[in-house]
Chains A and B, each alone.
Chain A
C-alpha cells in the first residue's frame, strides 16, 4: 500500500536539513524547547535552508480561500465584530491580501468534529482547515490533502522553522508533510500534578508530601482520620474515574512508580516500547489494589464518570486529585465557593524510590492545518503561519492582538501555534512579577493573570483558582527545567495497525487494569501483556519502531 515517493532521497536530505536548522537556533526559542530525539542526524553537512520565497509576500490581486471554524462559547467579540470581522481578519487581508470565507461554523468542539467527519467523508472539503490526527490519517488514506513539503521549505520563515521543525514528524506520512502542525501548550494542559488538600493536612498535623510513600500515608490519613472533622467517616484519599486516565487521571500516580501508561518510551536497547505493559505498571496496580481494598479509593469509582467524581470533590469527600495544572478551574473552585477554608496545593509527581519521578507529557501536536488537494495556493497556510508567528513573537502589537475590552483576540486567527510550555512560561513570569510587585515587563496575557491574582490576594475568593493554577505551573516549570518530563517518544501519525486495533486494545487495557484494581489476581497482568501483544500490540510496536528508525536516519 505504501507508495514510494519518487525522490525519497531528496526528502530525507530535506528533512535532515530542516532538523539541523532547528538545532542551531534551539536556544533562541521563547520557551526552551528540547527537540524530541529526532535531532542529531549525523553526517549531514548542509546548512539551515532559508526559504527562497518571501514568507510574507502579499497576494496581488487578493485571494479568497474557504475554511471552516469552530467558534466556541469562550470566544468573545467586541460589539459589531465576529469571526469573519475582527482585527486579525483585517490584518490578514492587509498584510497578505487573503480573505477567508467560512463555509460553515459550529459552536462547540464536539459539533465541529461531527460535521468535519461528514465533510471529509462526503469530500466537500474547504481549501484550508483544522483536523485531528485521526482525521489526518483519513485524509492521507483518501489522498485528499496537498503535500506541503515543498511549500514549507520554500516559504516558512526562520522563526516558524524554529517553532515547528521539531514537530513536523507528527504531520509526516509516508515521507510527505501533509499538514502544518499546531503545537499546543501541553505541559500546562495535560501533564499531571498532584493536588492535595492542604487544609486537611493542617487539620491532621501532617507535613507536605515529599515522596510517594508520604503521599500514601496521607491518603490513608485522609480516609481514616476524619480530616474534615465532621465526626463522619465519609472521606477518602484519592479520586479516580472509571476510565482511569481521563479526568481526574491516575497517570500521575503511575508516573510516581516510573510507569508511563499509554505512552511510548525508550528501553535500554534504544527501542520504543509501550509503557502500558511494563513491569512498573504492575507494581503501581498492586498498590492501587491495596488502596481500593481499604477504601482509600472510592469503591464505586468503576461506575463513576468525571461529573460524578467531581461531586466527591465539591462535597468535600476527597483530598487528593491528580490532574493537570488547570484543575482548580474545574472543579476545585466550586469547592472553594462552597467551603472557603478549603485549600489545595499542587505537588510534582512524587517518587516511590530514590530516583526522581518524571511527569508524562503526551505528543504536543493534536491539531493540524491541512490544505485540500488541488487547491490553487497551498503556500497560503505557511504564509498565514508566518504572519501569526511574526505578529505574536517578533513584531508584536498588543493593543490589537493582546487581551483587551474583555475579548481574547488570540482565539481569532485560523492558523496559529504555541509552544509546549507557553502557559508555563507565562506563569513563571507572573510569579516573578508578583514577587517583585512589578508588572511592567508582562505581556497582556500575563498581565490578566497578574491582575486576577492580585484581586485574590486582596480577598476575592473567586480568583483563588488563578493563583493556585499559577503556582502549579511554576511547579511544572521546575520539572521541565530539571528534565523531569517524560515525553511520549512516538509523535508520528497513527500507524496502520493502530487504526485497526486500538479500540480493541484500549478495551483490553481498561478491563485488565480495572479488574486488578478492584481485587483481581495481580498475576493476570502477565496474561494481559501476552494478550495485548497477540491482539495487535506487537504489530504496532514493530510499526512504531520502524517509524522511529526512519526518523533517526
Chain B
C-alpha cells in the first residue's frame, strides 16, 4: 500500500551539480487532455481533436491533438480562431474532474522511483533519480520504465528527457514528443542544443526570439557562440543568463513536492456561479477530504483553516480561524471551514459564488490530542483514505456528503 519513496526523508534537493551525471528526468504526458478524451472516445483517434476550457466565445484551447496541430491550432488560442483554422476538428470541453484522477496516478508512479519529484503541472514533472540507480537502473532505464507504466496503467503516452539538469531534460522531452525518449549524456548538453531552433529554449519567448533574430541568432548554437558582452548590451543582466542556458548550464535543483510546503489547499471554480448552499457545502466537504488526505500522507496537521470565496467578477475574500487544537481529520477541517463559510457567505448576502476554496496553514508535526474515552478509529480511517487517494487519485474514495442533497418536490 505504501509506495517506495514514502518513508524517505522529506525536503530533499538534488545535488546534480557536484557529480554531473545525467540523473534528471523530465516526464511529460503527450497532449494530456486530448489523450484522456481519446481513451473514452476511441472513435476520434487519428482525427483533429481540440479540448478547450469552454466552447463559447470566451473559450480558450487547452490542448489539441497532433492532427489538429498540423492545421496550426495551438494551446491558449481562442476557440473561435481554432474553428477557423480547423473546422473539421472535434471540439470538446475540458473535464478537469476526469483528468485529475489520471494526473494523481501519474505522479504516484513517479514517486515509486524517488521521493525527489517536482511537479511542474498536472501532466509533467521533474525527477532526480541520483539515489535510485542501484535499485532501478540508470536514468534512461527508469525513464523507459515510467513511460511503459504510464501506458499500461493509465492508457496514454508520455515523453521523457534525461540529462544533467532540468533545462536540458525539458528540451529533450519536447524533442522526443510524441511518445519518445531522448537522453543527453553528461557533457553533451551544448552539442545537443546547438542545432535546435532558438524558440525551443524555455526562457525564449516570441519577443526575445525576434530580438535575437535581429542579432542574426536563429539556433541555440548561434546563441552559445555569441559574445557575452554583445548579449549583455542588448539584454542587460539577462544576456549572460541566456548565454549560459544556450550552453545547457542550469543550476536549479529538483525540489521535491514533499518539501516543507507552507500550506495545503484545494479550490474549485464554478463554470456557472453557484447559488446553492447545499452544493457549496458539498464542494467544501470534498475539499476538506482531500486536504485532510494530503495532511495525512505528509504526516502533518495544521493550526489554521482558511476559507476563500470569490464572487463575480473578481471580488475575493478569505477568512481564517485557528482552533485550540491543530486540525488533521477531514471532519475537523470541514467543521472549521463550513463555520467560516456560513459566516462569510451570510455577511455577503448569500450571493452566488464563483470560486470556493479551503486551505490549512501553520503546518506542524501530525499529532492529534485524543479526548478522554476516545479511540483512534477516525485516525485509522483517515490514514487508509489518504493512502488510497495518494495511490489512485483524489476521487478514488468519496464521502456521501460530497453529493449535495437532492431536493424533493413537496406537495
Same assembly: no
